[in-house]
Amino acid sequence: MEKFEETIEDYVAKLNIEGQRKVWLKNRRKIDFILSKTNRYIRSKRTACDIGIGEGHLLRRLENMGFSVTGIDISSYLIEHLGESFKKQSLEIKLIHGNIADIDLDENSFDVVTCLDVLEHIPDDALKMTIENLKKCIVNDGLLIGTLPLGENLQDNMVICPKCRHEFHRIGHYQSFGNKEQIKKLFEPDFMIIKIGYIPFILFKLNFLNYICHWIYRFLCRVTGVKMVKTVYFVAKLEKT
């Protein structure tokens, strides 16, 4: 069987940065939407860490907001590529290569940690350790801001490699939740969800147009009987015991 040195994370990163897969660029409006909904909670904070840095839009936004910013990503390609980009732009953003499921971070390092479109990609056996690492690196009364899929049937998105016959989720999801209460229980007892809401379609610059698309999609799902898949954003406050 043919072997490749490149990791799947580096392969996907290159597709988004250099190739035809522009998912991360399209996510900029979603990131801006989440910041608009969470700014009141984070504006008094000073240090922030983004886990799963994508093409760096959130890191740049946080740096412009006055945060001392760190980015963590499993892709060594992204760390190198964005490191060079930030240096040319004179941005003081620290980058760390690692997997949040097993990385050794200093305790009480950050006031705010963001993990957008990340936790759903972590397998069951690593999810508990991931949350423990988040708990460790966030200060007491610090905030965790994230997104998670709601209502996705993971089996509906499973595909099979035609060469090795390995079955996998087409975009690497391991987690989905049926309702908001399940998300809250995921982080209990140390994290308390203080805000949670749905992210509408982010197709247009004007939010009211995005909400119209969201309600049209919701109506069509009801008419056709198709289960509606949503993305939820949340703000969780850490209360260390």
- For 125, 131, 134, 171, the CA distances from 128, given in Å and listed in that order, are 7, 5, 10, 21
pLDDT at position 151, please?
83
pLDDT at position 1, please?
41
The C-alpha atoms of residue 168 and residue 174 are separated, in whole angstroms, by: 9
Residue 223 lies in a domain: no
Q: Report the domain count for the chain.
A: 1
Residue 116 lies in a domain: yes
Strands 68-73 and 93-97: parallel
Both tokens of 234, joined, read: 């949340």
Q: Judge contact between 228 and 217, C-beta under 8 A.
A: yes
Please list the pLDDT of the chain residue by residue as tens digits (241 residues). Answer: 444 567 888 888 898 898 878 888 888 989 999 999 999 999 999 999 999 999 999 999 999 999 999 999 999 999 999 999 999 999 999 999 999 999 999 999 999 999 999 999 999 999 999 999 999 999 999 999 999 998 888 788 778 877 778 887 777 888 888 889 999 999 999 999 999 998 877 766 666 777 787 778 777 777 887 666 688 999 999 997 7
Residue 1 lies in a domain: no
pLDDT at position 226, please?
66
In terms of Cα–Cα distance, which of 147, 149, 148, 145 is closest to 62? 145
pLDDT at position 205, please?
65
Residue 82 lies in a domain: yes
Q: What is the DSSP letter of 43?
A: T
pLDDT at position 127, please?
93
Residue 157 lies in a domain: no
Dihedral pair phi/psi, residue 223, rounded to 5°: -65, -40
Where does the chain have alpha helices with state H? 8-17, 23-26, 28-42, 57-64, 76-88, 124-137, 180-187, 207-224
Residue 2 lies in a domain: no
What is the pTM assigned to this prediction?
Answer: 0.88
Residue 81 lies in a domain: yes
Question: Domain with 117 in it: what CATH number?
Answer: 3.40.50.150
Residue 161 lies in a domain: no
Domain membership of residue 14 as a residue range: 8-150+172-207+229-238
